[in-house]
Structure 1
Amino acid sequence: MSLILPSMLVLLVAAWKFDWRPWLADKTRQHLSFGAAIVLVPLWMLQAGVKDGLEVHFLGLTTLALMLGWRMGVLMGTLSLLLITLFGFDPWPDFGTNLLLGVIVPLSFSYFVFLLTYSYLYRHLFVYIFVAGFFNAALTITVKTLLFSGYMVWSGQYSWQVVMDNYVGTLPLLLFPEAMLNGMAITLLVVFKPQWMNTFFDRDYLINK
């Protein structure tokens, strides 16, 4: 658990800065948060790989970040990973690494991309769906894959050639499905349940467009 300490530090910051009072008073927000965490569990269970530690799966972290925001997204993503580990799909010694490189950094990156689109691009529904959602998801899974690749080589678990052949080489197969999965989820949520999206505001993306 070499990366557990920085992971715990990020979690403490996220929990400390989060405004818990309105969240605790709103049962709908609580159900939405825990429901989002539970939905990720079967998605992350669908793992495939040849080498131990080099398994691939869809992330869904872009949808989580846009739904819940950075702080609650990090906390609920941690809950999802905790459940996956408890169920035996990930080993406990890798929990810190999986948390930091597989949840915290990719989700933070995804939220940062959203902030960039919100700050510098024209605020339109299609920009939100296709840039902050679709393309953002593809970039996020790329970041996660490269992070794990670098860590595996740096830690000496596998050579760069093995990582390239058995892990990085699968990335082109994941980009479009990951982008489509998040893009469709965000589209459905924006159309039918916009109040569930922490980062979507009618006044910015729909009114007077």
Structure 2
Amino acid sequence: MWGFALIALVPCISDARTIFIPKLKSEPSFQHLTCAVCFSLFLLWSAEAGIKPGLDIHFLALTSLCLMYGWRVAYLLCVPIALSLALFGTLTLEAMGQYLLLSCLIPLLTSYVVFLLSYRYLPRNIFVYIFVAGFFNGAITGSVHILSTSFFHLVMDSHDWATIVDNYLVFIVLLAFPEGLLNGMAVAVLSVFKPEWLRTFSDRDYIYNHYHKK
């Protein structure tokens, strides 16, 4: 799992060197934003619950992170957050590779694919961005996270299918709406008040282009 998690960092490095790091160095406000985002995610991910080992649940908010930074930079930001979780005892170093892959990379890729599909095939207006790329995307991403984690533990024979269904998969129904609401509200606030914080949002595409067509 560590190998896959590290290999996935390779395509992220170029994006970070050409876009993220120069912006981080030159804009103090962007530094403050990034630190605040990482700290908020650290607190959110620390508040996890679970009945069986490895079958832990928590809010992800990775859809918002993906829309703010793109999946590559978002995945890079997950690394120091995961290290912080390990430092404070919430996560073990042995489980960090699995955590980065299942709880960070797969949800981020899911969020980015859903965003791309909505951008490609749905009307480009702010309501589609908020409700589809934000709300429904968050719900789908949270569900995929639980499904992929369940499949991993089933393949690794950590838990039997009945245990996974009764103690983990049942939470898909309970968590999908809150996860979608969390991301939908965050995207709605940012797209209205701070659209410059959303890397995937463009006034030209979602606002001016919409009214121009009318």
Q: Bin the TM-score by the shorter chain.
A: over 0.9
Superposed structure 1 runs of 4+ greater than 6 Å apart: none
* Aligned 8 A contact 1:36 1:76 in 2: no
Question: Are positions 1:14 and 2:12 aligned together?
Answer: yes
- Report the TM-score when normalising by structure 2: 0.92
The separation in 1 between residues aligned to 2:176 and 2:35, in whole angstroms, is 27
The separation in 1 between residues aligned to 2:28 and 2:5, in whole angstroms, is 28
Q: Deviations over 1:62-99 (max 9, x none)?
A: 00000111221111122222211211112221110010
Query: In structure 1, what is the equivalent of residue 43 of structure 2?
Result: 42
Query: In structure 2, what is the equivalent of residue 153 of structure 1?
Result: 154
Code of the aligned partner of 1:140: T
Query: In structure 1, what is the equivalent of residue 140 of structure 2?
Result: 139
How much does 1:200 deviate?
Answer: 0.8
The separation in 1 between residues aligned to 2:22 and 2:46, in whole angstroms, is 33
What 5-or-longer segments of structure 2 have no aligned partner?
A: none
Code of the aligned partner of 2:34: S
* Aligned 8 A contact 2:86 2:92 in 1: yes
Equivalences for 1:144-183 in 2 at 5 Å? 144-183=145-184
Q: Deviations over 1:41-60 (max 9, x none)?
A: 11111111111111100000
Which range is displaced more, 173-182 or 79-88? 79-88
Q: Deviations over 1:144-181 (max 9, x none)?
A: 11110011111111101101111111111101100001
Q: Deviations over 1:92-124 (max 9, x none)?
A: 211100101110111111011111111221100
Question: Are positions 1:78 and 2:76 aligned together?
Answer: no
* Aligned 8 A contact 1:34 1:76 in 2: no
Which range is displaced more, 17-26 or 116-125? 17-26
The separation in 2 between residues aligned to 1:31 and 1:13, in whole angstroms, is 25
The separation in 2 between residues aligned to 1:25 and 1:190, in whole angstroms, is 23
Code of the aligned partner of 1:71: R
Query: In structure 2, what is the equivalent of residue 112 of structure 1?
Result: 113
What 5-or-longer segments of structure 1 have no aligned partner?
A: none
Equivalences for 1:181-192 in 2 at 5 Å? 181-192=182-193
Question: RMSD in angstroms over aligned alpha carbons?
Answer: 1.3
The separation in 1 between residues aligned to 2:172 and 2:23, in whole angstroms, is 40
Query: In structure 2, what is the equivalent of residue 63 of structure 1?
Result: 64
The DSSP-based 3-state class of the residue aligned with 1:24 is helix
Aligned positions, number? 207
- Report the TM-score when normalising by structure 1: 0.94
How much does 1:27 deviate?
Answer: 2.5
Query: In structure 2, what is the equivalent of residue 89 of structure 1?
Result: 90
Code of the aligned partner of 1:148: T
Code of the aligned partner of 2:55: L
